[in-house]
């Protein structure tokens, strides 16, 4: 993507989708390639998400990349080494509306900005600031997970615990991926499908 660009023009790439869809994996893959291309890379993630590591972004498949923790989007501008050419940002949905101006400023000043985040919340609503970033981006990728109820491609993050808070940081088992048909805003009430039952020995 974007390999036809010349000079030091900046741009914004967004990878979005539900939890477990491979956003962090894809972000890490792109940032590793930028390093191979000898670009100067810096990676940021919000304070909120230090579930697995404080100084790394970590995917559910345990891919890891060194990162810096920031308390807000504005802090990215303060912390940035201005020689950096590629700026990676994971869990961008936790950084709020301020990220829109920050990402624009970075891209306008010649940086390649790679952003990953949830596009919808636990109710299926657009999750700021990702929708606005999609409008400003040069490149958009939507990743899908596998529905844990039926096995179809899943675009939703299903909350499994009862809470009305927008952010419940993923304690183990608090969320799963669900498709359009199986997703239930709020706590799931539908019966389980055969897909969910443990496989027997003869199924392999
Ligand atoms: P995200 O950043 O979107 O939450 P990650 O990149 O952290 O996703 O993790 C993606 C990995 O999660 C997959 O490669 C797979 O190994 C694992 N995984 C666990 N549950 C699912 C699921 N329901 N659908 C797809 N992948 C899953
Ligand atoms: Zn489903």
Domain ranges in the chain are: 11-143
Residue nearest to atom 15 of ligand 1 (CA): 61
Strands 112-118, 11-17: pairing is parallel
**pLDDT tens digit sequence for 120-163:** 999 999 999 999 999 999 999 999 999 999 999 999 999 999 88
Phi, psi of 118 (to 5 degrees): -70, 130
Note the ligand closest to the C-alpha atom of 144.
1
Query: Does residue 18 register a pLDDT over 90?
Result: yes
Closest ligand 1 atom, residue 147 Cα? 23
CB 99 within 8 A of CB 133: yes
Query: Does residue 91 register a pLDDT over 80?
Result: yes
**pLDDT tens digit sequence for 23-59:** 999 999 999 999 999 999 999 999 975 666 788 998 8
Q: What CATH number labels 11-143? A: 3.40.50.300
């Amino acid at each position: 993507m974007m390999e036809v660009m010349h000079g030091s023009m900046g741009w914004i790439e967004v990878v979005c989708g539900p939890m477990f869809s491979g956003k962090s994996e894809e972000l890490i893959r792109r940032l590793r390639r930028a390093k191979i291309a000898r670009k100067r890379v810096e990676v940021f993630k919000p304070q909120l998400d230090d579930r697995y590591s404080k100084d790394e972004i970590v995917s559910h498949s345990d891919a890891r990349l060194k990162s810096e923790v920031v308390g807000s989007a504005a802090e990215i501008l303060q912390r940035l080494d201005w020689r950096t050419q590629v700026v990676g940002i994971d869990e961008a949905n936790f950084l709020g509306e301020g990220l829109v101006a920050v990402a624009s400023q970075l891209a306008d000043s010649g940086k390649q900005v790679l952003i990953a985040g949830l596009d919808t919340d636990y109710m299926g609503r657009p999750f700021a600031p990702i929708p606005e970033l999609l409008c400003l981006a040069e490149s958009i990728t939507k990743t899908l997970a596998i529905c844990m109820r039926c096995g179809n491609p899943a675009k939703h993050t299903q909350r499994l615990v009862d809470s009305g808070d927008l952010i419940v940081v993923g304690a183990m088992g608090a969320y799963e991926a669900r498709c359009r048909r199986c997703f239930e805003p709020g706590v799931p009430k539908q019966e389980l499908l055969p897909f969910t039952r443990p496989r027997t020995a003869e199924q392999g």
